[in-house]
Structure 1
Amino acid sequence: MSTSLNITSATADPALLDLPWELPLDDWADEYIAALPKGISRHLVRFAHLSGHVIAIKETTDEMAKREYEMLRTLQRLDVPCVDPLAVVTNRRTYDGDVLNSALVTRHLKFSLPYRALFSQQLRPDTATRLVDALAVLLVRLHVIGFFWGDVSLSNTLFRRDAGAFAAYLVDAETGQLYEGGLSNGQRENDLEIARVNIAGELMDLEAGGRIDEELDPITVSNGIVAAYRSLWKELTGSESFSSSERWRINERVDRLNDLGFDIEELAIKTTEGGTTVRIQPKVVDAGHHQRRLLRLTGLDAQENQARRLLNDLDSYTAKYGRKAYDEEMLAHEWLAKVFEPVIRAIPRDLKGKLEPAEIFHQLLEHRWYMSQEQNRDVPLAEALSSYVEDILRHRRDEATVIEPPTGAITMAIAVQDAASDDEDWRLKV
């Protein structure tokens, strides 16, 4: 190993020194490589094993690697969904002294998939719409903190299942720029247009390969991000005026934002001189309303929609078994010990990597509901769990780390087990 090698890392992991940095990334031996599906990138990206984890390594220039590393760390501090930056490796040289590209190292996001691995034979319109909606939420969150992405696309995003929807995570931040004073309307519209064009191109590429449903129109789906973005942006940042006798609309606005998964840290309220009109406008909006409540009550860290679903079950438990002497935190602890944790412990060891625990619990509740509807009775949770494990979960692919088959044919590997996961009626298939 060349003694000039420099590693800047957020976490001290000596195992980084054991990787063959003196070789071009494309020449690394299979013993180091983890064969996971990855998105399209302008740079060479490969997955590798490190201390029992999987990391993503991207070869790029020294300047770009350092810049993206710092940008990802900044976004993490701002609580933006993005990959975890681990290290920047510079001054790479071969044993013969030839200069090699620097490398950016990030941690692989467990239970996440690039959009191309989220479907089997054909991408369906409803799945494409859900991916675009998730990307619209991510873009709004980035714009709220003043981040201009500059290369918005499905390829630069990872997706995790989120209780029937998807949660989007930023992967590539090399073109991004953070503006302390916020973004202008022109900058936001520029990012939005980049997203629209890139998504249309990505879907057209799939269309040319016969990989999308005949009913899916790439232009219509790509235009959907514009509508979804503007609707959410208006709800989060738009001002609202009403009569002073309708002050209940203040709480209504806050409730609507909470339902969308956002909290208001500050709300500007102005009245006219005559006191007849009230004008309100959110000043600081923070995402993850249900996530934070679930984390506070139970210690569970879940996606926003998963958290919403778990909280609904917690609230139902409280309504059924709640005792006046118990406060919310005590009831949440009881629900966690008597309902959630026994379900997760009951999942066979060989199936625990199929889905995140919160997603398993959500899908179990859905499965139980469908069983109860079909059988016209209240199916016990234990009975529903046995059915769910054997009829559904056992036939899913693992999503903790989706290993690419030796042939490289990712879609064939997941086709049998996930052929209908894009269907809203997933209960008998996923």
Structure 2
Amino acid sequence: MTASLSITSATVDPALLDLPWHLPLDAWPNETIAALPKGISRHLVRFAHFGGYVVAVKETTAEMARGEYEMLRTLQRLMVPCVEPVAVISNRVDADGEPLRPVLVTRHLRFSLPYRALFSQTLRPDTATRLVDALAVLLVRLHIIGFFWGDVSLSNTLFRRDAGAFAAYLVDAETGKLYEGGLSNGQRENDLEIARVNIAGELLDLEAGGRVADELDPVRISDGIVHAYRSLWTELTGAESFSSAERWRINERVNRLNALGFDIEELAIRTDDAGTTVRIRPKVVDAGHHHRRLLRLTGLDAQENQARRLLNDLDSYRAMYGRPGADEEMIAHEWLVRVFEPVIRSIPAELKGKLEPAEMFHQLLEHRWFMAQEAGHDIPLAEAMSSYVNSVLRHRRDEATVISPPTEAITMPTTMVGQATGPISTLDDEGDWRSRV
């Protein structure tokens, strides 16, 4: 019954016609469905095989599907971490000609997981805190561009591992609205309160099911997003005044923001009539400072913290092996072909789906540091690689195609190349790196 379909898509892909649109979503055959973990949703959502990748298909109304599709496309153009919209399918009918609900199709974000799939048995406080911190960063980025989410929660977010932390991606934008003039303080506080209440409810739900550690306090963890958000918002947008004799503080502010992973496109600088006081305020702040530098130097596309870690290793390589007169791009290419690429090529084929390459490299550096501390001397990279693959990587679940936990649906409203440096870390019960310092 594909003749009656109405397909809205930015790209023409004939594979869209191969999916069983004449069937209700809950009746799609098993050979079409991809068994991936799914968070709580007010709508029926299923994952399906689509060409060479996986898509998420959500049943909703035609108006909401079109609105969310356009909003996700806008957020992508604004470089906000979110899922990629593929199509809106409407005018669906079954074999008897009865109408079926329209759907929104989005591309599944590889190596991402809903928060409930990021732990195996019980959620630890440090893991929950890192999830909330990642969500706070995402919320700040959204508010900077004038986006009011309206339904901030862990359930509406996907998480990717990012060098010991997490990177958060927006999944559900159906309640969101973009304001060209920016958000008022009241709108931002409203979104923040929604986040606090929703996170507390989600963690209390896990607690009731016996799926959090005894020492985890859902209310304290949920309150943490308020502190994390306000601290980052103040750092990124707050005005700062100082004596004109302390102009070095302008560079200090820029460097501080760069260290947080943000770039400044413009600074508003004012001096008083006497020229004794300087007042600065970042005008436009863009995230991804380390990501962009790594991409420019090496072509590697990594999360922000992963990029920071790889750049640390690259900078250390340049300090040890760089030749006088060699520019940064030349050394970066040398590091790429002599260090990073050989490491990734040495990963056995059956283990390549465990983690993203940049995350594997980060974990290798962590593992090498731990080995060096235990042995009391530097460990060759090849030796560390063999140990990491056999003692750590082989025992991880495959996060590119992770199967558990089961789908849920409810109805509801820098380490140097030649020298070990950095924190000591090991894997915890949830498969996350935890600092042992």
Category of TM-score, reference length = shorter chain: over 0.9
Closer, same or farther: CA 148–206 of 1 in aligned 2, 3 Å: same
> 1:173 is matched with which residue?
173
* 1:38 is the counterpart of 2:43: no
Q: CA deviation at 1:423?
A: 5.7
1:124–1:422: 8 Å Cα contact kept in structure 2?
Answer: no
Q: How does 1:317-396 map to 2 (within 5 A)?
A: 317-396=317-396
> 1:232 is matched with which residue?
232
> 1:421 is matched with which residue?
431
What secondary structure sits across from 1:227 in the alignment? helix
Closer, same or farther: CA 349–2 of 1 in aligned 2, 3 Å: closer
Q: CA deviation at 1:425?
A: 4.8
> 1:107 is matched with which residue?
107
What secondary structure sits across from 1:424 in the alignment? strand
Kindly provide the CA deviation profile for residues 357-407 of structure 1, in whole angstroms up to 9, marking residues without a partner as x.
0000000000001100110111000100000000000110111121248x7
> 2:272 is matched with which residue?
272
Amino acid at match of 1:319: A
> 2:197 is matched with which residue?
197
RMSD value, Cα? 1.4
> 1:209 is matched with which residue?
209
> 1:91 is matched with which residue?
91
Kindly provide the CA deviation profile for residues 274-324 of structure 1, in whole angstroms up to 9, marking residues without a partner as x.
000000000000000000000000000000000000000000000000111
Amino acid at match of 1:113: L
Amino acid at match of 1:18: D
Amino acid at match of 1:367: H
Aligned equivalents of 1:128, 1:392: Cα separation in 2: 22
Q: CA deviation at 1:325?
A: 2.2
Q: CA deviation at 1:11?
A: 1.9
1:161–1:359: 8 Å Cα contact kept in structure 2?
Answer: yes
2:122–2:211: 8 Å Cα contact kept in structure 1?
Answer: yes
What secondary structure sits across from 1:3 in the alignment? helix
Amino acid at match of 2:188: R
Q: CA deviation at 1:420?
A: 4.0
Aligned equivalents of 2:371, 2:14: Cα separation in 1: 51
Amino acid at match of 1:3: A
Aligned equivalents of 1:198, 1:69: Cα separation in 2: 24
What secondary structure sits across from 2:434 in the alignment? coil
Amino acid at match of 1:424: R
> 1:17 is matched with which residue?
17
Closer, same or farther: CA 252–26 of 1 in aligned 2, 3 Å: same
Amino acid at match of 1:23: L
2:310–2:362: 8 Å Cα contact kept in structure 1?
Answer: yes
Q: How does 1:228-267 map to 2 (within 5 A)?
A: 228-267=228-267
What secondary structure sits across from 2:33 in the alignment? coil
> 2:74 is matched with which residue?
74
Aligned equivalents of 1:184, 1:400: Cα separation in 2: 39
Aligned equivalents of 2:21, 2:429: Cα separation in 1: 39
What secondary structure sits across from 2:4 in the alignment? coil
Q: CA deviation at 1:426?
A: 8.8
Closer, same or farther: CA 394–285 of 1 in aligned 2, 3 Å: same
Note the residue ranges of structure 2 that are not aligned, 5 or more in a row: 409-426
TM normalised by structure 1 equals 0.96
Closer, same or farther: CA 345–423 of 1 in aligned 2, 3 Å: closer
2:36–2:407: 8 Å Cα contact kept in structure 1?
Answer: no
2:38–2:407: 8 Å Cα contact kept in structure 1?
Answer: no
Q: How does 1:1-12 map to 2 (within 5 A)?
A: 1-12=1-12
What secondary structure sits across from 1:23 in the alignment? coil
What secondary structure sits across from 2:331 in the alignment? helix
Q: CA deviation at 1:170?
A: 0.1
Q: CA deviation at 1:419?
A: 2.8
Note the residue ranges of structure 1 that are not aligned, 5 or more in a row: 410-416
TM normalised by structure 2 equals 0.94
> 2:411 is matched with which residue?
none
Aligned sequence identity (%): 79
Aligned equivalents of 1:101, 1:47: Cα separation in 2: 17
Aligned equivalents of 1:147, 1:359: Cα separation in 2: 30
Q: Detail structure 1 runs of 4+ shifted over 3 Å in the superposition.
A: none
Kindly provide the CA deviation profile for residues 165-205 of structure 1, in whole angstroms up to 9, marking residues without a partner as x.
00000000000000000000000000000000000000000
